Structures are given as C-alpha cells and as structure tokens.
C-alpha cells in the first residue's frame, strides 16, 4: 500500500516474527514500526510491551483485527502512537497516521531529553549544595524554607524534612550575644534592602531545642527570576565559633604582653625615683653633714617623692577612678587652639587649622583634653625632623556616617591631627597605645596610652592611620553635648597695658604661672597665693608694709583650702575698698553671675587669654570707689 503511495516518501522492510523485527531494529535505524500484535513467536499486548520497552524512542503503530480493538486501545495507553484495524485502512489514513506518530514521538523525545537535562541539573545542584562547606537555606519570599543543605541541617539541628515549609526564623534562630535579644531574620532584611545583607558581629545561632549555640557569620541575598523579580532568598552561613575563640585568645595574649610592658616600665621609673629618695636620705644621715646640706638632701628626696606621686596619678588615669575630673561644656576649638599655640610656641614647625562651621560643644575636662592634644602635637612634631606641616581639623560628625568606628549613634566633634612625619610601621600600629611602648630614646611611651584612656573616659574614641615616610593621622571623636557653640568672641581682643600690683590666688601652679606671665607682660607686678588664707596673709602684709595690692584675682574653688567666696568676706572686713576679681572654670556658678553681690568688682571666667585678662583688670582698676 505504502509502496504504491506514489511520492516515494517511505522505505519499507518486512519481517514476520518479533525476533526478526528486533534483530532488524538492532542492526539498522528505523523511524517507525508498524506492529501486528499477533505474530508467530509472540501475541497480544506482550508483543507491544516487549518492543516498546526495548526501543522506547521508536514510535509504534499497532495493527489489530476488528475483534481486538480493546487490545489495541490498551497498547495506545501503554505508549503506542496509534492503532489501525486491518482491512479497514486506506492509503491516506495510513500515511496520516504515520506522519502524526512520527511528529508526536519527536515531541515526546524532545521533552524527555529536556527532562533528563533538568534532572541532571537538579542532581548536580543538590550534590553541590550538600558538599558545600557552608550552611545554605533557601526560602520563598514569605520566609518559608524550601531547601536546606546538610551543613545547615547540622548547624541548626533541623533536618530537611522538619525544616521545609517552616518559617525561617524558627529554623535559623539567632540572638545577639551581648544584649541577649533576638535578631531579625536576615531574609526579611535582604528583601527589604533589596540587596545582600550580613549579620551583626556577635550573633549566635541557637540550635533546635535550644541545645547549643554557635557564633555564625552569614549573608543573605535575594533570588530573582529572569525578569529580576525577587522570588526568594538564599542564606549562606558558617560556624565561626572556633575563629572567635582564637581571636579572644590572641587578645588575651596581647593584653598580657601590654601588662608586662607596663609593669616593666613602672618598675623602671619607680626604681629611678626610689634610688634618688634613698640616696638622698642616706646622704642626709651622714654624721658630719651640715644642717644646710641635710635640708638640701631632704629637698631633693621630697622632689623625687613628688615625681613619684605624679607618676602614680598619671597611671591612675588608666584605672576607672583616676584623678577628680572637672568637666564643663565648652568649645573644643578654643581648647585646641590654646593648647596648640602653647605647645607649638618655640617650635618652627608650621601648623594650621581647618575648622568646620557651627561646631557643637563638648563636655570635657579641659586640662585632660588639652593634655591629649598636646601629646598628639608633640608626637607629630617629634616625627617631623625638618620640614612639613601639621594640620588640625575640627568638624562636626555623626557616628552612623563614620565608617568602622565603634561609637554609639549620636553627634560627635571630630578632631583630625595630620602630620607629614616619618609615619608608623604597620607592625607597631597595634601597639602604640600600649603603656610604655615607645620607639624614642627619651620617650616614656605614656603619651598615647594616657590620651587613649582620657578620650575613652570622655565617651569618645581615638584612631590612627599612618603611612611610612608620608605621615600620620590621629582622629579623635568626642561626644557633642550641651548648648551649641555660638560664634566665639574673637581672641584678638586688644591688649590693654596697665600698671599696679596684682595678687593672684589659685591652687593650680600652671594657672598662677600663666596668669603671672601674662600680667607681667602687660606691665603689672605680680605675687601669688595658693589659697584664701595665704592670700589674706599676703594682702595684709603688703598693706602694712606700705606696698598694697591694687587688685586680687581669686579662684572660686580651692580643693581642701579656703576658696574665693570665703576669702572675699574676710578681705572685705580687713579692707572694705578691696578690688577683687573672681575667676573660675565653673562658668555656671552663681557667684560668677552675681559677683557684685558677693563683693567682687570683676569676673574672669576661665579659660582666658591676655586680651580678656587685661580688659577685666583695666576695667576694675579704672573703677573709682
């Protein structure tokens, strides 16, 4: 029939048994089999099944007799492409049936090969996932787990079967180790951020049944389909518990090393001082020594004792307590400018300021912060042998915008001191803040460590960046506090020279010396007293000797001694016309505000410079009684 079909589109081979058919199929390739279910060596559905199982890709059209139509239908259900009833077929029908069968089988084969490829891909993915060293969990956009690999099963304690379909936060249960609080799911974070997100450091994963916990690091990223639409999230995490332990151990070792260096340094310094003390005392007990010499020796011994005392108080800044602090809200710029001018006077190194607008105020112990700035500048100057300059930049900063700075959120005033000196070798960078670490012949190695603890106690932070032979940059953050700084009165207030005798009462030698120096410079004669009673004595004596003081500048608070408020009462009893000026660093003290009510003629808030000092003095002295 087909042979005579006319258009020669078929090549036909005939066999009369199933065995011969299979032989032929093994030897040659055929596009289609027309199969009679009733053959000499096989009959019924078995004929079809045997052939189809062995050659699943070849389409088969089944031929049956009229009485066997049911059988033929079953063959089609099992995979035959079609059936024809012998004696009822014409050429066109046969040709059409063959064409359809070929077409359908081709489709089927295509689909099968795609399925096979997909299956292989899936196998590969699952083998990859299970052999990855990290835990992997994939979720849908709602956060339901759709996949969890073996490592993730082990780390979370949830098996694949248990985890799939569960909410990610139940399976990946994480807690911040410091606060003890539960952390939000990285899955929702990734979706909200529409980006890869990591975990906070110090996150621990709690295993199923709360049996164990491990430090983990993780990153989760959205999974997108071809059109870029998020269809889920993949979370990759790893156990970093061992790493954390290692870090802690390392830190301990480093701390021990620092303590070792510190102890060595303290011992060295104290031994020197003790040598001086012991030497001088033993010299003063020699039998034939004169009284004058004994006095001298004891004086030297006492001096060494004082140095020992200073050293111990410097060491105390490292401890929690430390010296009494005296914090005031003030402008950092002013403190820094004054310290820099003072520290750098006499040096020929160029330094300049870059100051941001509307700087916030800070609440600081002026003396301590000034010590920090001075340490930094001295270090910078020591690092620059010949040329180069130091730049001091002061600006407002917000913690969350500063990268990698471990500070609480909030406002800070940021001071950057940049030098163009020799720089710090990388291997020293982690040690320069250690007490007694120094690379200098005559250094103590206490400058930076003292600075570090002062800044820390102020709630701030100090960091360093350095490049060898290029320079070093120290950055100091201090929390902003209090009223915002108004534009400071310019410090170029004109200096008014004058004449007269001035008594300065202050418990701090630095204050006495600085004020004395300034006053002498602008034409006054100066004497000093350390507290109220000494001031009274000096004042009375001078008056009696006929050389009275024209004015007295008195500090308001004298720890352990008579302060300005009590002293002025007594002075007024002795000399109602006394022209006294009250001075204090506690700018909010009511005595400063209502100084006249207390009997003072003028007020001089600390800190002050020459212009202000001369102005107040001039005003008070010009006032007639």
Ligand X SMILES: Nc1ncnc2c1ncn2[C@@H]1O[C@H](COP(=O)(O)OP(=O)(O)OP(=O)(O)O)[C@@H](O)[C@H]1O
Residue 472 binding target from Mg ion, ligand X, none, CB below 5 to 8 Å by type: ligand X
CB of 594 to ligand X, least distance (A): 44
Residue 438 binding target from ligand X, Mg ion, none, CB below 5 to 8 Å by type: ligand X
Residue 472 as a binder of ligand X (CB under 6 A): the answer is: yes
CB atoms within 10 A of CB 521: 13
Task: Return the range that interacts with ligand X (CB under 6 A); candidates 75-83, 345-353, 374-382, 592-600.
Answer: 374-382
- Burial of 73 from C-beta contacts in 10 A (0-12 / 13-18 / 19+): middle
Taking CA atoms, 453 is separated from 228, 397, 435, 460, in Å, by 51, 21, 10, 10
Element containing residue 614 per DSSP (H, E): helix 610-622
CB of 228 to ligand X, least distance (A): 51
Residue 75 binding target from ligand X, Mg ion, none, CB below 5 to 8 Å by type: none
Q: ∠ at Cα 213 (211, 216), nearest 5°? A: 150
CB of 264 to ligand X, least distance (A): 15
- What is the per-residue binding string for ligand X in 390-419, x denoting contact by CB under 6 A? -----------------------------x
* Binders of ligand X in range 419-438 (CB under 6 A): 419, 421-424, 432, 437-438
Parallel/antiparallel/unpaired status of strands 471-479 and 411-419: antiparallel
Among 220, 280, 375, 551, indicate the residue that binds ligand X (CB under 6 A): 375
Residue 444 binding target from ligand X, Mg ion, none, CB below 5 to 8 Å by type: ligand X
Rounded to 10 degrees, what is the CA torsion of 275, 279, 280, 282? 140
- What is the per-residue binding string for Mg ion in 442-471, x denoting contact by CB under 5 A? -----x------------------------
Nearest residue (CB) to Mg ion, 301 versus 417: 417
CB of 254 to ligand X, least distance (A): 16
DSSP state of 491: S
CA quadruple 325, 329, 334, 337: dihedral positive or negative? positive
Taking the C-alpha atoms of residue 366 and residue 360, their distance in angstroms, rounded to an integer, is: 16
Among 328, 361, 449, 453, indicate the residue that binds ligand X (CB under 6 A): 449
CB of 440 to ligand X, least distance (A): 4
Which string of DSSP letters, residue by residue, matches 213-281? EEEEEEEEEEEE-TTS-EEEEEEEEEE-HHHHHHHHHHHHHHHHHHHHHHHHHHHHHHHHHHHHHHHHH
Residue 582 as a binder of ligand X (CB under 6 A): the answer is: no
237 in Cβ contact with 205 (< 8 Å): yes
Nearest residue (CB) to ligand X, 342 versus 586: 342
Only one residue has tokens 């059988």, namely 71
Residue 578 as a binder of ligand X (CB under 6 A): the answer is: no
Residue 443 as a binder of ligand X (CB under 6 A): the answer is: yes
3-state DSSP assignment of residue 360: coil
Which string of DSSP letters, residue by residue, matches 144-193? BEEEE-HHHHHHH---HHHHTTSBHHHHSEEEETTT-PBPPPHHHHHHHH
Taking the C-alpha atoms of residue 567 and residue 554, their distance in angstroms, rounded to an integer, is: 8
CB of 504 to ligand X, least distance (A): 30
Residue 459 as a binder of ligand X (CB under 6 A): the answer is: no
Q: ∠ at Cα 326 (317, 618), nearest 5°? A: 130
CB of 382 to ligand X, least distance (A): 6
Residue 578 binding target from Mg ion, ligand X, none, CB below 5 to 8 Å by type: none
3-state DSSP assignment of residue 63: strand
CB of 434 to Mg ion, least distance (A): 13
Residue 379 as a binder of Mg ion (CB under 5 A): the answer is: yes
Length of the chain measured in residues: 625
100 in Cβ contact with 108 (< 8 Å): no
CB of 423 to ligand X, least distance (A): 6
Element containing residue 354 per DSSP (H, E): strand 350-355
CB of 322 to ligand X, least distance (A): 17
Residue 265 as a binder of ligand X (CB under 6 A): the answer is: no
Residue closest to ligand X when measured from CB atoms: 447
- What is the per-residue binding string for ligand X in 332-371, x denoting contact by CB under 6 A? ----------------------------------------
Residue 556 binding target from ligand X, Mg ion, none, CB below 5 to 8 Å by type: none
Residue 422 binding target from Mg ion, ligand X, none, CB below 5 to 8 Å by type: ligand X
Instruction: Please report, as ranges, the residues that interact with ligand X according to CB under 6 A.
Output: 375, 379-380, 383, 419, 421-424, 432, 437-440, 443-449, 472
Residues at the site binding Mg ion, with contacts judged by CB under 5 A: 379, 447
């Amino acid at each position: 029939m087909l042979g005579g079909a006319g258009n020669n589109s078929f090549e036909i081979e005939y066999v009369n048994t199933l065995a011969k058919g299979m032989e032929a199929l093994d030897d040659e390739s055929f596009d289609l089999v027309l199969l009679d279910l009733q053959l000499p060596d096989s009959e019924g559905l078995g004929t079809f099944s045997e052939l189809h199982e062995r050659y699943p890709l070849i389409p088969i059209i089944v031929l049956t007799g009229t009485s066997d139509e049911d059988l033929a239908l079953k063959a089609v259900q099992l995979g035959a492409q079609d059936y024809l009833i012998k004696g009822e077929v014409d050429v066109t029908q046969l040709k059409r049936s063959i064409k359809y069968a070929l077409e359908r089988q081709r489709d089927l084969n295509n689909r099968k090969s795609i399925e096979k490829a997909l299956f292989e891909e899936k196998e590969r993915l699952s083998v990859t996932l299970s052999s990855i060293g990290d835990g992997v969990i994939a979720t849908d956009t709602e956060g339901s787990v759709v996949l969890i690999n073996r490592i993730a099963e082990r780390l979370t304690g949830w098996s694949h079967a248990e985890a799939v379909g569960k909410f990610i936060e139940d399976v990946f249960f994480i807690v911040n180790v410091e606060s003890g609080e539960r952390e939000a799911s990285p899955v929702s974070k990734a979706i909200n951020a529409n980006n890869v997100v990591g975990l906070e450091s110090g996150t621990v994963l709690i295993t199923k049944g709360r049996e164990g916990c491990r430090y983990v690091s993780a990153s989760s990223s959205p999974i997108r389909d071809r059109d870029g639409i998020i269809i889920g999230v993949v979370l990759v995490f790893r156990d970093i518990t061992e790493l954390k332990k290692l870090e802690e151990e390392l830190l301990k070792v480093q701390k021990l090393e620092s303590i070792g260096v510190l102890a060595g340094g303290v011992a060295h310094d104290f031994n020197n001082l003790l040598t001086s003390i012991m030497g001088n005392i033993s010299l003063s007990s020699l039998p034939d020594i004169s009284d004058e010499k004994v006095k001298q020796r004891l004086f030297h011994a006492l001096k060494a004792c004082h140095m020992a005392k200073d050293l111990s108080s410097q060491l105390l800044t490292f401890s929690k307590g430390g010296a009494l602090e005296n914090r005031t809200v003030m402008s950092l710029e002013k403190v820094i400018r004054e310290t820099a001018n003072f520290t750098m006077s006499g040096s020929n190194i160029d330094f300049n300021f870059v100051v941001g607008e509307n700087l916030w105020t800070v609440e600081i112990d002026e003396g301590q912060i000034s010590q920090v700035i001075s340490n930094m500048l001295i270090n910078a100057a020591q690092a620059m042998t010949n040329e180069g300059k130091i730049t001091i930049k002061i600006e407002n900063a917000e913690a969350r915008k500063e990268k990698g700075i471990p500070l609480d959120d909030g406002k800070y005033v940021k001071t950057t001191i940049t030098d163009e000196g020799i720089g710090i070798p990388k291997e020293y960078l982690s040690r320069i803040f250690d007490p007694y670490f120094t690379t200098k012949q005559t250094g103590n190695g206490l400058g930076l460590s003292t600075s570090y603890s002062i800044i820390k106690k102020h709630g701030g932070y100090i960091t360093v960046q350095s490049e060898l032979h290029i320079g070093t940059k120290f950055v100091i953050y201090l929390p902003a506090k209090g009223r915002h700084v108004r534009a400071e009165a310019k410090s170029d207030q004109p200096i008014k020279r004058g004449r007269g005798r001035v008594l300065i009462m202050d418990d701090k030698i630095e204050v006495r010396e600085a004020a004395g120096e300034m006053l002498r410079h602008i034409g006054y004669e100066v004497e000093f007293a350390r507290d109220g009673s000494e001031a009274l004595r000096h004042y009375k004596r001078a008056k009696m000797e006929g050389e009275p003081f024209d004015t007295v500048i008195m500090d308001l608070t004298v720890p352990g001694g008579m302060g300005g408020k009590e002293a002025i009462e007594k002075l007024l009893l002795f000399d109602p016309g006394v022209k006294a000026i009250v001075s204090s660093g506690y700018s909010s003290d009511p005595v400063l505000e209502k100084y006249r009510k207390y009997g003072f003629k003028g007020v001089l808030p600390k800190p002050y410079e020459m212009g202000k000092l001369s102005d107040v003095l001039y005003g008070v002295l010009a006032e007639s009684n």
